[in-house]
Amino acid sequence: KLAAMPPTDKAAILLASNRGPVSFTLKDDGTFALKRGGGGLVSSLSAIDPSAGVIWICAALSDADRRAARHAPGGRLDQAGHDTGGQAVRMLDIDPATFNRAYNAIANSTLWFIHHMLYDTANQPVFDARFRKEWASYEAYNTAFADALAADAAKGAKVMVQDYHLTLTPRLLRDRRADLRIGYFTHTPWAPSEYFQLLPDDVAREVLEGVLGADYAAFHTRRWAGAFLDCCETVLGAKVDREELTVTHAGRTTRVGVHGLGADGDFLRDRAAQTDVEAHVTALREQVGDRKLIVRVDRTELSKNIVRGLLAYRHLLREHPEWHGRVVHLAFAYPSRHDLPEYREYTAAVRRTAAEIVEEFATPDWQPLILHVNDDFPRSLAAYRMADVVLVNPIRDGMNLVAKEAPVLSEKGCALVLSREAGAFFDLGQDAIVVNPYDVTGTAEALHQALTMDDAERIARCRRLAAAATALPPGKWLADQLAALE
């Protein structure tokens, strides 16, 4: 299937993100295997008519991606005959050393750590000569995106730049193409101003001025938008209006918006009814029987707080022996960012803690905890369908779509134990059981409360959670932001 947009045409709508809608692996016979990704951004685009002239610009993330990008004319995967689902996609072949410094060292080890407040005594930020070299690579990577966007955009086109990998791109793009209307969306939290100022002053300024290159900068919640305004005021001395949500700096005004991405209810319900998910439901039912099921699904990510979640489950079993033999915790912790040593260590800690719990409580006919470390989307959907309780306890999270997807699919009307530090708390806090993610005993009590909640109340709450979770589906989320750029 070829994309609607011919190779020579300029796009009216451009999307830019580090991770694109497709990725490649190299097969033994030297040909490429293509994998199409999911996620909010991919489904948001399905609501837009591709004949409008939409292109998605992303980075090659692996050697296989780079080779595929190099073999496609101008990186246009759709023009090279790859099945991109009808979507025009340009994949940028950035040299691996530059990419790794930009992605691993700056985006994932510095900016991600700042916004999620992940530095601790064992891992303190050191901004030295090596950091400066990494920062220069981040600038080069952002420049590559700005150049590609500038080249592909029709006059007056709308550009939607995504996330912390690309904070400098809006400004770099504006310098190249003043005619464009530029939007920027932050999918992560935004750091409080004191914490943001751990960054070297010039870098902190560059990040903020980069984002302010956009006409419209949006966040999942008012909390993150407010933190961004605070940073602009303290670091840049910008004039901020907290009522109107505007920042005026260096003679330009950027509007700030809040668009809390919701779950794609129609897609989820349809996907979760397919035979591969049914097969997982049957297998899970055999494994779990009529025991209660506590489900969590995460990337194995420091901010997701998986270890404390496991410790809370252990505390529940220690304090409430009445649950022995009557509950199973299904924990899906998928691999993520394994180029970073902190993530490899964290993965080991998750496995260790899980093994300790099994060791302490398992009996010949009861497996208290099942940990899966391989990504399996249909199996996750099956777990959502069967969950009695869903645990979402990040120490900080931009939104968290697990909290929104599970109640949509839960057949028993699940209870949601939810961290107050997740963006989803602002949409779902009313009907969730809300926890402080650092409080392990508090989280254990919340799990107990969730397991013992009266059926009628739990079902009613779950129905309201599902409604709130789907209030802003991905298509509307994107359409609203495009409208804000008019």
List 10, 12, 19, 67, residue binding ligand G6P (CB under 6 A): 19
Residue type, 86: G
Quote the least distance from Cβ 108 to ligand G6P, whole Å. Answer: 6
Question: Does 337 engage in binding with ligand G6P (CB under 6 A)?
Answer: yes
Q: 115 vs 461, which CB is nearer to ligand G6P? A: 115
Quote the least distance from Cβ 287 to ligand G6P, whole Å. Answer: 29
> What character string, x for contact with ligand G6P (CB under 6 A) and - otherwise, covers 125-164?
--------------------------------------x-
Q: 66 vs 337, which CB is nearer to ligand G6P? A: 337
Q: 24 vs 313, which CB is nearer to ligand G6P? A: 24
Map the footprint of ligand G6P across residues 168-187, applying CB under 6 A. Answer: 187
Quote the least distance from Cβ 336 to ligand G6P, whole Å. Answer: 6
Question: Does 296 engage in binding with ligand G6P (CB under 6 A)?
Answer: no
Question: Does 66 engage in binding with ligand G6P (CB under 6 A)?
Answer: no
Quote the least distance from Cβ 18 to ligand G6P, whole Å. Answer: 6
Quote the least distance from Cβ 414 to ligand G6P, whole Å. Answer: 23
Q: 61 vs 198, which CB is nearer to ligand G6P? A: 61
Q: Which residue is nearest to ligand G6P (CB)?
A: 187
List 84, 137, 142, 188, residue binding ligand G6P (CB under 6 A): 188
Question: Does 461 engage in binding with ligand G6P (CB under 6 A)?
Answer: no
Quote the least distance from Cβ 39 to ligand G6P, whole Å. Answer: 7
Quote the least distance from Cβ 469 to ligand G6P, whole Å. Answer: 17
Question: Does 336 engage in binding with ligand G6P (CB under 6 A)?
Answer: yes
Q: What is the rounded CA–CA span in Å between residue 34 and residue 50?
A: 21
Sign of the Cα pseudo-torsion (314, 315, 318, 324, in order): negative
Q: How many residues bind ligand G6P (CB under 6 A)?
A: 6
Quote the least distance from Cβ 91 to ligand G6P, whole Å. Answer: 14
Q: What is the rounded CA–CA span in Å between residue 184 and residue 404?
A: 23
Quote the least distance from Cβ 229 to ligand G6P, whole Å. Answer: 20
**Which residues here bind ligand G6P, judged by CB under 6 A?**
19, 163, 187-188, 336-337
